[in-house]
């Protein structure tokens, strides 16, 4: 770095008119960018104005913040979005649906037989089954759709820009068929039932609820 401009290594707004601490990026020798907090102050040593930039590594803090945000928005067992994140994504889907003039459907799924699995194979096996259910659901919808866990054996599916009720019902039947296939839990085959709520919420351009 000797003899080279500091802004080749510290990426951010370092105007001398804005002294103080602010987050920025340090570019390492390998080209990797790492998050730091830069303290910037003017230097007047009689030979011309300059800047003193002191950088503090905030990588662990940034990583911890991201981890806490993830935990606040996702179910601890399955990794699916939780109720809070579901509401956020549903709101975004409604806005998108009203602008694109396509409906968005919301379906509710209950897994039947969880008590039997917990009583016969143990709660660890029940958790294993819920994780398997979550994976099947997540892999059976489009990338822009949302699968969330409300808690227990209750799951919610948000289908954005769906082509009408018939298509939504077809997706629901396919999901129920997928979830009803046997699972391998605690080295034993397990089959569960799936119940779907009758209430599908449709948001049209005029925000009509059916």
Residues with catalytic roles: 153
* Size (the chain), residues: 210
DSSP strand E in 45-128: where?
A: 49-57, 104-112
Tokens of 95: 């806005």
Residue 43 host element (H or E): strand 33-44
- The Cα 133–Cα 128 span in angstroms is 9
- The Cα 33–Cα 124 span in angstroms is 41
For residues 159 and 103, the answer to whether their CB atoms sit within 8 Å is: no
Output the 3-class SS for 139-165: HCCCCCCEEEEEECCEEEEEECCCCHH
- The Cα 110–Cα 154 span in angstroms is 5
Tokens of 30: 């390998």
Helix (H, G, I), strand (E, B), or coil: what is residue 163? Answer: coil
- The Cα 164–Cα 16 span in angstroms is 57
């Amino acid at each position: 770095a000797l003899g080279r401009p500091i802004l080749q290594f510290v990426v951010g707004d370092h105007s001398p008119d804005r002294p103080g601490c602010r987050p920025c990026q340090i570019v390492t020798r390998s080209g990797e960018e790492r998050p730091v907090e830069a303290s910037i102050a003017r230097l007047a040593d009689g030979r011309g104005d300059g800047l003193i930039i002191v950088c503090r590594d905030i990588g662990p803090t940034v990583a911890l913040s991201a981890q806490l945000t993830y935990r606040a928005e996702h179910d601890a067992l399955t990794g699916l979005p939780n109720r809070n994140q579901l509401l956020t994504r549903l709101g975004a889907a409604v806005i998108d649906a009203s602008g694109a003039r396509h409906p968005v459907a919301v379906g509710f799924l209950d897994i039947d037989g969880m008590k039997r699995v917990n009583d016969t194979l143990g709660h660890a096996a029940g958790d294993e089954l819920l994780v398997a259910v979550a994976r099947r659901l997540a892999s059976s919808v489009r990338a822009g759709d949302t699968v969330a866990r409300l808690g227990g054996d209750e799951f919610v599916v948000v289908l954005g820009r769906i082509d009408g009720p018939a298509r939504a019902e077809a997706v629901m039947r396919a999901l129920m068929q997928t979830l009803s296939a046997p699972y391998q839990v605690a080295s034993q085959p397990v089959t569960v039932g799936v119940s779907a709520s009758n209430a599908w919420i449709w948001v049209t351009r005029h925000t009509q609820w059916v």
